[in-house]
């Protein structure tokens, strides 16, 4: 029986030595002063030191130990509590500096190690320190972190550039909306100057002009508010009378209509009121009428005419704006709602119809379509009675 037990013990030690020599971990036995008592094959292989050269030496004589204090603290804890302690490569990087062959994309020069400290039960002042190579794991983590940071930056850049694109578009749209009223102010001022030269200026003309200029300036400042609000939703809708709206559109366009000798015919079923965003609808209508006026400038039609026809349908109102200015070339028909598509060499931003579509469909919940033939162009708008 006694012999059997000895044999058993012997076998166990044998096995342990065997394991220690082949295991794919660094294992060393230390006391709480960091003196080395055992140094396994793995350690010898990776540090290129023989066991005989290290036994009896202190760990910190042999290697610079960046985490010496942590190591001693962990050993003390393991010994006093008689429980294993650990620290990980992700926090502590490494215990023993072991240079690694640089693998592609590797971020580390030294092997990243997890460290486990196990108190040896029978010999109170000794611990086994076990090193596990965690370089691949640490590397993957670090690369993932880097990638995440890159994505975050890319997202931020994307956000910033889309914001500035929206801003640029808004500025273009405001500029677009301002062109007509500004030219109206210009005309009014020029008119006053001429009348003054010719000594035809009387108070009535001055008053009229000033009133018109004031109204126009009000409209200009509204435009800015509208666009600002448009980018911030929740602007209030109001009751809008369609006849009044077309009356207002005329205010901005009547000089040009007269100059170009364009007949403007508006037929509206009496008293149509809808609940919508007024200035945005007005801007859209002015844009469409302005396109017809522009088209007449380039055609030599005799009987120039713009006809507006508004009628109530069951669920929406239908608004048609027709001109006989010669129409749109077939190959362009599908592009007219694209932003920045324009056939006008000067003065065309190509934002007019794009804006109309965005405003009418996305904000006013309506629909806009355009048809054209060699005679002219028809724009049809459907609007709900209530947004
Ligand atoms: N009534 C129309 N008659 C003929 N062509 C038109 C008419 N309406 C639009 N188009 C064509 O559609 C194009 C796009 O119109 P849109 O209003 O978007 O831009 P634009 O008028 O060229 O520029 P902007 O509106 O800045 O003055 C015009 O360039 C023109 O070729
Ligand atoms: Mg236009």
User: DSSP characters for 82-118?
Assistant: TS-EEE-HHHH--SS--B----TT---SB--EEEEEE
**244 shares its domain with 386:** yes
Q: Is 336 in the pocket of ligand 1 (CB under 6 A)?
A: yes
Same domain, 341 and 248: yes
Same domain, 170 and 92: no
Does residue 213 share a domain with residue 200? yes
Does some domain include residue 220? yes
Task: Read off the pTM.
Answer: 0.58
Distance of CA 371 from the midpoint of ligand 2 (Å) = 15
Q: Is residue 156 part of a domain?
A: no
Distance 322 CA to ligand 1 centre (A): 14
Q: Which ligand is nearest to the CA of 377?
A: 1
- Are 105 and 56 within one domain? yes
Return the CATH number at 212.
Answer: 1.10.287
Q: What confidence score (pLDDT) does residue 366 get?
A: 97
Give residue 295 CA to ligand 1 midpoint distance, Å.
8
Residue 267 three-state SS: strand
Regarding whether 184 and 246 lie in a shared domain, the answer is: no
Structural domain boundaries enclosing 293: 236-387
Ligand nearest the Cα of residue 339 is: 1
pLDDT in tens, the chain (387 residues): 444 555 555 455 555 777 778 888 999 999 989 999 999 999 999 999 999 999 999 999 999 887 788 889 999 999 988 889 988 765 557 888 888 876 666 788 888 888 999 998 666 789 999 999 988 888 888 889 989 999 888 878 877 776 676 677 778 778 877 888 898 899 999 999 999 999 888 999 999 999 999 999 988 888 787 777 655 555 689 999 999 999 988 888 888 899 899 999 999 987 899 999 888 898 899 899 999 999 999 888 889 999 999 999 999 999 999 999 999 999 999 999 998 899 998 778 888 899 899 889 988 999 999 999 999 999 999 999 999
Tell me which residue has its CA closest to atom 1 in ligand 1: 292
Nearest-CA residue for ligand 1 atom 19 is 350
154 in any annotated domain: no
Residue 295 CB less than 6 A away from ligand 1: yes
Asked whether residue 51 falls in the same domain as residue 61, the answer is yes
Domain check: are 386 and 244 in the same one?
A: yes
Report the b/e string of 193-220 with b at 16+ CB within 10 A: eeeeeeeebeeeeeeebeebbeebeebe
Residues 242, 213, single domain; the answer is no
Would you say the CB of residue 343 lies under 6 angstroms from ligand 1? yes
Same domain for 171 and 188, yes or no, is yes
| Domain CATH for 124 | 3.30.450.20
């Amino acid at each position: 029986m006694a012999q059997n037990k000895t044999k058993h013990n012997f076998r166990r030690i044998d096995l342990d030595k065997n394991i220690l020599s082949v295991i794919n971990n660094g294992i060393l036995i230390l006391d709480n002063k960091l003196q080395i008592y055992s140094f396994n094959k793995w350690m010898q292989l990776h540090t290129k030191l023989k066991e005989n050269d290290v036994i009896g030496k202190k760990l910190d004589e042999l290697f610079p130990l960046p985490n010496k204090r942590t190591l001693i603290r962990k050993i003390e804890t393991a010994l006093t509590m008689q429980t294993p302690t650990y620290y990980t490569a992700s926090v502590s990087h490494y215990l023993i500096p072991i240079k690694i062959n640089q693998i592609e994309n590797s971020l580390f020069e030294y092997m990243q190690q997890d460290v486990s400290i196990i108190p040896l039960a029978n010999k109170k002042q000794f611990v086994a320190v076990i090193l596990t190579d965690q370089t691949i794991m640490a590397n993957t983590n670090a690369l993932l972190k880097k990638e995440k940071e890159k994505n975050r930056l890319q997202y931020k850049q994307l956000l910033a550039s889309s914001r500035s694109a929206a801003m640029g578009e808004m500025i273009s749209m405001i500029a677009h909306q301002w062109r007509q009223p500004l030219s109206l102010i210009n005309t009014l001022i020029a008119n006053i100057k001429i009348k003054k030269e010719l000594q035809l200026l009387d108070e009535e003309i001055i008053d009229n002009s000033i009133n018109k200029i004031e109204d126009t300036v009000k409209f200009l400042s509204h435009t800015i508010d509208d666009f600002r609000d448009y980018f911030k939703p929740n602007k209030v809708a109001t009751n809008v009378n369609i006849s009044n709206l077309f009356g207002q559109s005329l205010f901005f366009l009547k000089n040009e209509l007269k100059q170009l000798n364009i007949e403007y015919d508006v037929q509206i079923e009496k008293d149509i009121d809808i609940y919508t965003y007024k200035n945005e609808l007005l801007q859209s209508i002015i844009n469409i009428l302005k396109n017809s006026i522009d088209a007449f400038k380039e055609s030599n039609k005799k009987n120039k005419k713009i006809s507006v026809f508004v009628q109530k349908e069951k669920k929406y109102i239908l608004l048609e704006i027709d001109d006989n200015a010669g129409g749109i070339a077939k190959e362009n028909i599908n592009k007219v709602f694209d932003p920045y598509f324009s056939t006008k060499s000067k003065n065309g931003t190509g934002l007019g119809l794009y804006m109309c579509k965005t405003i009418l469909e996305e904000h006013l919940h309506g629909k806009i379509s355009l048809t054209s033939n060699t005679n002219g162009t028809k724009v049809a708008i459907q609007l709900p009675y209530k947004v």
